[in-house]
Amino acid sequence: MGRNKRKITYGIIIVNVVATCALLYLGYQEYQKNNKNLLEKEKIEEEYKVVMNDKSIGEDEIKDINEKIDNLNNIDEVTKKTKEEVFKLASELETKIRNKETNKKIAYLTFDDGPYYNTYKVLNILKQNRIKATFFTTNINGQYCYDNGSANCHNVYAAIAKDNHTIANHTYTHGWNRGLYTNANTFITAVKNQENLVKEKTGLITNIVRFPGGSGTPRSQVGQYGLNKMIEELRKNNYGWVDWTAQDGDGGSLSDTATAWRNFTGSINDNIEVVLFHDYSWITTSILPDVIKYLQNNNYIILPLFYESVMINK
């Protein structure tokens, strides 16, 4: 009798896990579809500008395109709702993973220190593989791309947002060795300045921070008390923060793809991983397609970070 009861319990758990994964997948596919809607909105808005500047166009044509714009105005809300649904399912999956009710795992791919011109290559690889990631952005390099001085890297923000990745906050200055961590005020000011830049370029408000250098950097400079004051300011401003659990070492003196691959595979050992990459790294860009395949072949679902995730410190 006890054995049968256990079988029934396990059966219920398996059914619930399969249902959650199926819903997460379907929600994720719907999440992807919204990209087409956003492109359509962008196209119509360009048409709108042409019409409004062409005095030979009649009032009927203007009325028609205004109606199209009105019909598409709810796209942002639809996208937001779909994101919320996907993140809700992801949160449920995190709970099942932590309770050992499923053999599924989650990997959150994160890219620090951008945007760069190379970020476009990263975005293309993610798009080709139907993957969403998280970009911790900073204005350390200013308006023009560090790796292509003729390109305006502030335009990359819109490209990240258009593909519905999570845009997160890596502070405006990234100045971990130039006074960023002097006190809680200098730190939160840099966070708010980056928040304002992201909002200006995308209309989005960030709510996840990564400390430049990781949380261990301010702790080493101003002690645990100083770090706690910074975290207190983050909470007051509705921010969570996150470090990482795996990496390929591209933030240091990484010399080749073989070393990066060994570092990456050697650091993947948890059921929920936050993987640290940098979107300026050609080495990471080179191995990224194989990184995605490796994770998928090892039962990881790759998702963008969200505020409610168990990996976010609040």
Q: What is the mean pLDDT of the chain?
A: 86
Containing 251, the helix (H) or strand (E) segment is none
Confidence of residue 281 (pLDDT cuts 50, 70, 90): very high
Cis bond leading into 304, ω under 30°? no
Whether 208 and 305 have beta carbons less than 8 Å apart is answered as yes
Give me the pLDDT at residue 131, please: 95
Confidence of residue 124 (pLDDT cuts 50, 70, 90): very high
Tokens linked to 89: 């399912």
The pLDDT tens digits for 221-234 are 999 999 999 999 99
Whether 278 and 248 have beta carbons less than 8 Å apart is answered as no
Average pLDDT over residues 184-193: 98
Confidence of residue 69 (pLDDT cuts 50, 70, 90): very low
Give me the pLDDT at residue 164, please: 93
How far, in Å, are 257, 267, 298 from residue 309 at the CA level? 31, 21, 21
Tokens linked to 99: 């309770």
Whether 112 and 278 have beta carbons less than 8 Å apart is answered as yes
Confidence of residue 51 (pLDDT cuts 50, 70, 90): very low
Burial label for 128, CB within 10 Å (0-12, 13-18, 19+), is: exposed
Best CATH choice for the domain 105-303 from the list 3.40.50.2300, 3.20.20.370, 3.40.50.720, 3.40.50.1260? 3.20.20.370
Average pLDDT over residues 135-139: 98
The pLDDT tens digits for 139-174 are 999 999 999 999 999 999 999 999 999 999 999 999
Confidence of residue 84 (pLDDT cuts 50, 70, 90): confident
Residue-range domain boundaries for the chain: 2-89, 105-303
Euclidean distance between CA atoms 97 and 113, whole angstroms:
30
